[in-house]
Amino acid sequence: MKNILFIAPPAGGKGTQSDMLVMKFGYEHISTGDLLRDIDDNSALGKKVNKIIDEGNLVSDELIFELLEEKLAGIDKPFILDGVPRNIEQVYTLDKLLNKLGLNLDLVINLDVSYEVLLKRVLGRMICSNCKEIYNKFYKIPLKTDICDNCGEVLTIREDDTEETFKVRYKTYIENTKPILDYYKKCGKLVTINGEDNVFENIVSVIEK
Ligand code: AMP
């Protein structure tokens, strides 16, 4: 099975599609955003990281790759990377890390989503704090208001899912992350998929090709 990297703007659907691929193929899903959100909120590091995330800025490469190396070392199944690399420096650091661990990226999937749809997704997003299932007030409504269908936990809203922070995150994406698509195109690994319609079916067909 192919090791996959997702590149998409904020709320582009990386998390949702990854969860579905985990269910279908048994992938290991590694999201740097989730790794950061899993840091204890009450620790000094957690407070520092939360502030950066809530302002829509990027956390240091050093921390990202420390968390990532811990996750990737000893991995024994195909993986999906989501949230890293976010700039060209991280592309090179990721290459080095994968080399060191004897791992390969086979496929880079870029999800293409319009600004208007992204904003609506951000403003509607709700997440289960327990099982991490993602819902949306407009597109994927839970059966009971604000309660997770899977585990009954109360749904939460990400602190960085505000219009103001979204604008910063989107700008960061356009300026720093989007340019790395060229790199993966040159490597022959990039596939761009319409991230608004039949997304999962199209991703599956690319993986199975
Ligand atoms: P995400 O869940 O991918 O939307 O990430 C949420 C936030 O975590 C981002 O807005 C950044 O503040 C931080 N973050 C996640 N991945 C990275 C990364 N590779 N480099 C720097 N910051 C990151």
Active site residue 37: no
Catalytic residue among 14, 37, 121, 132: 14
Q: Which residues does residue 31 pair with via DSSP β-bridges, in sequence order?
A: 82
Atom of ligand 1 nearest to the CA of 86: 19
Q: For every one of its 209 residues, what pLDDT tens digit does the chain have, with 9 covering 90 and above?
A: 899 999 999 999 999 999 999 999 999 999 999 999 999 999 999 999 999 998 888 999 999 999 999 999 989 999 999 999 999 999 999 999 999 999 999 999 999 999 999 999 999 999 998 998 999 999 899 999 999 999 999 999 988 899 999 999 999 999 999 999 999 999 999 999 999 999 999 999 999 98
pTM: 0.90
Beta-sheet strands, E only, within the chain: 4-7, 28-31, 79-82, 107-112, 125-128, 134-136, 155-156, 190-194
- Helix, strand or coil, per DSSP, at residue 74: coil
Instruction: Find out whether 192 and 184 touch, Cβ atoms under 8 Å.
Output: no
Q: Whose CA is nearest to atom 9 of ligand 1?
A: 53
Active site residue 121: no
- Going by their DSSP bridges, the two strands 107-112 and 4-7 should be labelled as parallel
| Strands (DSSP E) found in 61-129 | 79-82, 107-112, 125-128
